[in-house]
Amino acid sequence: MADRKPIESWLTDMDGVLIHEGVPIPGADAFIEKLRESGRPFLVLTNNSIYTPRDLHARLRRLGLEVPIENIWTSALATAKFLDDQRPGGSAYVIGEAGLTTALHDIGYILTDHDPDYVVLGETRTYSFEAMTKAVRLINAGARFICTNPDETGPSTEGPLPATGAVAALITKATGRQPYFAGKPNPLMMRTGLNTIGAHSESSAMIGDRMDTDVLAGIEAGMKTFLVLTGLTRPEQVENFPYRPSKVVDSIADIVDLV
DSSP state of 96: S
Q: Determine the pLDDT at residue 232.
A: 86
Q: Is 12 helix (H, G, I), strand (E, B) or coil?
A: strand
pLDDT band at 3 (very low <50, low <70, confident <90, very high): low
Q: Is 29 a catalytic residue?
A: no
Q: Tell me if the pTM is above 0.85.
A: yes
Is 13 marked active-site?
yes
* pLDDT tens per residue, range 16-57: 999 988 899 999 999 999 999 999 999 999 999 999 999 999
Write out pLDDT tens, residues 186-238.
999 999 999 999 999 999 999 999 999 999 999 999 999 999 999 989 999 99
3-state secondary structure 138-156: HHHCCCEEEECCCCCEECC
24 neighbors 62 (Cβ within 8 angstroms): no
Task: Please tell me whether the peptide bond between 185 and the residue prior to it is cis, using omega within 30 degrees of 0.
Answer: yes
The active-site residue out of 3, 13, 106, 257 is: 13
Catalytic-labelled residue, pool 3, 15, 29, 212: 15
Residue 132 has pLDDT above 80, yes or no: yes
What percent of the chain is predicted at pLDDT more than 90?
Answer: 91
The span from the CA of 60 to the CA of 24, in Å, is: 9
In this predicted structure, what is the pLDDT of residue 1? 41
